[in-house]
């Protein structure tokens, strides 16, 4: 593999977006062509859990390392991440890291508190103000189901009254599908107005997508961003998205950043320690993290790894000097057998949310 210094120099010389498959991408500017012909880099930089204090510096470091897709959300860092990402983007434009806004693909996400037509458009307006941008390149519906009336959700109450017990008025089980359709209608309007160059969803199951399809005027969603890794491979969803022309974007590609030590122990250790992953890392003189990210790419999944460490950013971007063999891909894929008998164990993100297993949402 190329040295970190060589890889950085190569990325900095490559600025123009071009179409490629995920498996054959050779740079951070190689892109998927979205359904409306917008180009989106296969590899981006994620800002989840960076915190307001680190978001600007980390995002700017990522841009200087050659990343050209930044993934953020209205809710990240208690609604404080978007302003810091915006500051980083404008700093990169000012110092020449970015020659123009057109060299960057910005993703943000609508928050579920703002489901509904007017509320959703207001949410995007605030996101644009925070980012100091007149448009985003991709706007995602972050979560299909409801806003909560409180963060203090008691397990005993949920067991007695069901998972929807704390949903706010108008976000209940009988209402959410129609409300979600109105959110999508607002997203279609944002697309028409040029406030978003493309629109998509996040954390949607096949059932959610099929329901949305019945009322959508713009179809398919450009992207479905979901938790996806060898313990939670999303095989059925990935196949559906491929048939419909939706790009599957994998978050938590290293195994789920919300997984507890106890859960990892119950699953036999982290994916970074799994034998087929470490064997492939040794064979390709790569790190375990690089192998897992490469596995996602070779399944035609877009990825948005996150780090506040500049060296780790470089590592996560240096994915183009090796290919996993069919045997290695298969061996890593077989790790899903750890959770085959109880799929809920495979999902390691949003684990305090009673509706994290989204099949429960109509």
Annotated catalytic residues are 76
The Cα 303–Cα 319 span in angstroms is: 11
Phi and psi at 68, nearest 5°, equal -125, 10
The Cα 204–Cα 186 span in angstroms is: 18
Match 């508190």 to its residue by tokens.
113
The β-bridge partners of 71 are 46, 107
**What is the three-class DSSP state of 188?**
helix
The Cα 111–Cα 123 span in angstroms is: 7
DSSP state of 358: G
Sign of CA pseudo-dihedral 148, 152, 155, 160:
negative
Tally the residues of the chain.
362
Task: Give Cα 274 to chain centroid, integer Å.
Answer: 23
Whether a cis peptide bond, with omega within 30° of 0, leads into 220 is yes
The DSSP-derived string for 228-286 is -BTTB--HHHHHHHHHHTPEEEEESTTS-TT--HHHHHHTTS-GGG-HHHHHHHHHTT-
Sheet containing 18-19, strands listed edge to edge, beginning at the edge strand earlier in sequence: 18-19, 30-33, 39-41
């Amino acid at each position: 593999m190329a040295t970190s210094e060589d890889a950085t120099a190569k990325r900095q010389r490559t600025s123009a977006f071009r179409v490629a498959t995920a498996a054959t991408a050779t740079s951070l500017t190689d892109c998927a062509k979205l359904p409306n012909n917008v180009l989106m880099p296969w590899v981006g930089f994620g800002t989840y859990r960076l915190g307001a204090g680190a978001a600007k510096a980390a995002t700017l470091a990522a841009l200087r390392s050659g990343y050209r897709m930044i993934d953020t959300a209205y809710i990240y860092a208690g609604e404080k991440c978007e302003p810091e990402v915006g500051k980083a983007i404008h700093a990169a434009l000012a110092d020449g890291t970015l020659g123009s806004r057109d060299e960057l693909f910005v993703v943000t996400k609508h928050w579920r508190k703002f489901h509904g037509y007017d509320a959703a458009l207001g949410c995007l307006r605030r996101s644009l103000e925070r980012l100091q941008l007149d448009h985003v390149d991709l706007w995602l519906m972050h979560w299909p189901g409801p806003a909560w009336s409180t963060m203090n959700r008691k397990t005993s109450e949920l067991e007695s009254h069901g998972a929807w017990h704390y949903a706010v008025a108008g976000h209940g089980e009988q209402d959410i599908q129609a409300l979600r359709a109105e959110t999508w209608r607002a997203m279609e309007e944002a697309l028409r107005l040029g406030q978003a160059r493309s629109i998509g969803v996040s954390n949607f199951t096949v059932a959610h997508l099929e329901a949305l399809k019945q009322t959508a005027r713009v179809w398919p969603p450009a992207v479905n961003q979901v938790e996806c890794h060898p313990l939670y491979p999303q095989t059925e969803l990935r196949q559906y998205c491929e048939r419909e022309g939706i790009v599957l974007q994998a978050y938590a590609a290293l195994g789920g950043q919300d997984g507890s030590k106890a859960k990892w122990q119950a699953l036999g250790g982290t994916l970074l320690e799994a034998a087929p992953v470490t064997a492939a890392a040794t064979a390709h003189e790569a790190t375990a993290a690089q192998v897992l990210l490469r596995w996602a790419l070779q399944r035609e999944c877009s990825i948005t790894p996150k780090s506040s460490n500049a060296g780790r950013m470089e590592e996560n971007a240096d994915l183009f000097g090796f290919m996993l063999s069919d045997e290695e891909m298969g061996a890593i894929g077989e790790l899903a057998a750890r959770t085959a008998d109880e799929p809920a164990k495979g999902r390691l993100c949003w684990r305090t949310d009673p509706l994290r297993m989204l099949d429960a949402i109509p």
